[in-house]
Amino acid sequence: MSMILSSVVTNLIFRILLLQLELLLYLLDLPLDFKNQAMYHPGYFSVYMSKASPSANSAQAGTGQTWFKVWENPPVFNAASRQLTFPSQNIQSFTFTIPKSLPSGQYLIRAEQIALHAATSYGGAQFYISCAQVNVINGGNGSPTPLVSIPGVYTGYEPGIMINIYSLPASYTGYQSPGPAVWHG
Residues sharing a CB contact under 8 Å with residue 121, sequence separation 6 or more, in sequence order: 162
Residue 92's Cβ-side half-sphere holds a number of Cα atoms within 13 Å equal to 1
Kindly report the CATH class assigned to 2-136. Answer: mainly beta
Query: For every one of its 185 residues, what pLDDT tens digit does the chain have, with 9 covering 90 and above?
Result: 433 333 333 232 222 222 233 333 333 344 555 555 678 899 999 999 999 999 888 899 999 999 999 999 999 999 999 999 999 999 988 899 999 999 999 999 999 999 999 999 999 999 999 999 999 999 999 999 999 999 999 999 999 999 999 999 999 999 999 999 999 99
Instruction: Classify 2 in phi/psi space as left (phi over 0), alpha (psi -120 to 50) or beta.
Output: alpha
Burial of 182 (0-12, 13-18, 19+ CB in 10 A): middle
> Would you list the domain boundaries of the chain?
2-136
Q: pTM for the whole thing?
A: 0.80
